[in-house]
Structure 1
């Protein structure tokens, strides 16, 4: 049975990555070959399938991912992210410090990948904690919630962006729905969940944490950083451009306006790749040239950003190769036949499959892309909104981060927690985001 082959492939992946400590990309390619052969694919098609899966996934994502990494690096290296965080802390005041951290993390999280945002914001959280004499975990949970939600639900992050491309969903709709879902989810999983966590593991809120592993963290005098308004505008510009294009398209469809040169121009500017390029050019000016930073230093930041995401790109490509093997090997069609005539929503099915794979594999990205390979054949049988299937896949891929996920150990070490305390905070936090996110997705599905 094809599903037995997939299950054995996932077990092999776990053994290679966790048992033999093999590089995730290498493990994915090995397993892709093994699963392809086990599914009986013609020998002459195996390499072509793996290459097309890897190339097709990266072809859609590499431009957005690369430009996004440069944008985030420029905002970080200029001190723009620090300005956003500290200004909001000062504006909200000590009494509402959690909400300041949530808003700052949300804005910064849109521009930065999860791991980068975590490394950037943790020293700021530690500094605020020391200054106001509050628990680092009291601020750390809302920070992690905001970063995780933006990572899972909002383009131009790699997860929702690549899933949207594979499903053929409108990226603008994914962004609009994602924001509607993200805001209440962050509130529930951040400040509200912190109150529950305090009751579950009160001792964890007395820990002092340890960020020595981050090395020397670059900090700025606030007057030496870009202004708050321009920093927020630069960080949010990709979202603004994609959002404007989406709203314009909805108005155009509602009013029955035909295609013309102006509509094509708006759609071009609102395309994720174009939006990221425009945003990067703006950042080069606002975060660099306008502040008299030599263009060579600005370009050095861009080069560093690209070198830092090389392996992550390969892992995403490896996930795409595995996904294509599942599709071309007939596993997706087999799953489609199993659920033929079922009343289960593809939204719920995508979430369940992604959740199972996430718990098994640890990697949200690999879980998402493998889910795509199993769910795509089902989508032709339904008129479900593809943007919601994208978000459901993303939500499922966030659930129950535990010992096979790097994020689990990063959170544990930075906040000085025991394994039990990490399960009661980080793992439960990710599960709340996944389940609450699914709830809001199903709610939106009732109205669209």
Structure 2
């Protein structure tokens, strides 16, 4: 069976670039001008792009479903379980309880900042999509309480998850690039935090204030799906849990996932035997879907059974979370399908090879390769690993590079890999659908914001690289 991994392309780089631009343009016209549903538009354009790219007819469906399925494999469980947890927190009154606590401790003006700091902490071990799902009900509740555009609260928090995901191990992109370039993962982690936090402040906190003033987006009701008997069931499930209970449900997945990543790093360093049975079982408990499943089950107990709620009521509340997110899951999967077709066309490798021959300074060339591959095919992890593979021979052959400079090189590639996420990126559709923004607004808010993360992050990396060069 042919997969996107063993596809070869027949078009030259200019033709592939033109095909990518044309396919994205057609997709935007279908969604914005003709109001075709995003899911249908993504599937149609993915199919047409596969045909135009010269992918064999017998492999087109495999390529489409491969991109769709691989995206759903990483997103569907997280979104579904996260929505269940969020629904229970919102319906039980837990989100209100935490909101009151935040406002009492930090004040109304600092509550959004407190949300973002919490997101930075959650973002250390938790992937972007899972962390966002856990925090959304709290973000929405704070936004309703304090008023104003939801972007004031959501963009800084979402950007916090984004910068941690792209710059800081143990997330897969920087870990993979560190392995390819033989960088010290511990040093990459420290420097990644040095880059991520000020980048978040500029591209998340300050930019969030700017877009919040510019775009008045009301707080979405997507997590407020009607229950079987409307407000009757909602009122019946309300219990106003303690702040401690809410914190347990928020921090449990954090601790479990942190255990997984910590054991993984210790295993890589040879501190523990990564193949030992007890390590494998503990890591299983910390896998993100398992950690969220455990938390949802604990939430059902703490917010439902322990409060004396009927089994049928708990089932109704949990089930009510799934309907609103089904559309989001399908659209996100279709976005992954579109990106998968572009990857199968070979555009990422073709552009990377062309840029590699330009002769720019290695750190600048790596950043640009990652950025262009990201824009062309959507996946930040693919962009980062592609760029790392391209620059790997030059980095490993240059004995004059210090460990500090090599770590900075990894972060430069990471900065490029997050550049301008748009319609071929599944994260774009998660943000668009959950915040209920149209495509034009999401391009202006999220795509521009991710470009800002990339450029600002690269600027900080270049400062670190300059310091390392001066000290070498």
Global fold match (TM > 0.5)? yes
Higher helix share: 1
1:325 to 304, 318, 341: 341
Contact 1:237-1:279 within 8 A present in 2 as well: yes
In the aligned structure 1, how far is the partner of 2:97 from the partner of 2:194? 26
The answer for the alignment partner of 1:362 in structure 2 is none
Q: Distance in 1 between matches of 2:417 and 2:337?
A: 18
Give distance in 1, aligned partners of 2:446 and 2:20: 29
In the aligned structure 2, how far is the partner of 1:426 from the partner of 1:40? 32
1:246 equivalent in structure 2: 261
Tell me what 1:272 maps to.
Answer: 288
TM-score, length basis structure 1: 0.70
Aligned to 1:112: 133
Counterpart Cα distance in 2 of 1:114 and 1:396 = 23
Distance 2:302 2:250 in 1: 11
Q: Do the aligned partners of 2:222 and 2:324 also contact (CA within 8 Å) in 1?
A: no
After superposition, the Cα gap between the structure-2 partners of 1:261 and 1:146, relative to the gap in structure 1 and judged at 3 Å, is same
Moved more, 40-49 or 58-67: 58-67
1:306 maps to 2:322:
yes
The CA deviation at 1:86 is 0.9
In the alignment, structure 2 segments of 5+ residues that lack a partner are 1-14, 123-129, 179-184, 225-230, 393-405
1:4-403 alignment, distance < 5 Å: 4-93=18-107, 96=110, 99-100=113-114, 102-103=116-117, 110=131, 112=133, 119-126=140-147, 136=148, 143-150=153-160, 152-153=162-163, 183-188=197-202, 224-258=239-273, 259-341=275-357, 343=362, 344=364, 346-351=366-371, 354=374, 368-369=378-379, 377-383=386-392, 393-394=417-418, 396-397=420-421
Check conservation: 2:119, 2:161, Cα contact below 8 A: no
Residue of structure 2 equivalent to 1:363: none
Counting matched residue pairs gives 397
Distance 1:182 1:235, change over 3 A: farther
Q: Deviations over 1:386-418 (max 9, x none)?
A: 99666754464289xx9xx95899689xxxxxx
Measure the CA separation in 2 of the matches of 1:33 and 1:323.
12
Q: Give, in whole Å, the separation in 1 of the partners of 2:78 and 2:223.
A: 29
Distance 1:373 1:80, change over 3 A: same
Question: Are 2:420 and 2:450, in contact at CA under 8 Å, matched by a contact in 1?
Answer: no
CA distance in 1, matches of 2:101, 2:342: 48
Task: Give the alignment's Cα RMSD to 1 decimal.
Answer: 4.9
SS in 2 for 1:336: helix
In the alignment, structure 1 segments of 5+ residues that lack a partner are 127-135, 358-366, 413-418
Contact 1:178 1:391 in 2 (8 A): no
Shift in alpha-carbon separation, 1:248–1:392, aligned structure 2, 3 A: farther
Residue deviations 1:309-334 (CA, integer Å, cap 9, x gap): 11111112112222222222222332
Residues 225 and 334 of structure 1: is their aligned pair in 2 closer, same or farther, counting only changes over 3 Å?
same
CA distance in 2, matches of 1:339, 1:313: 35
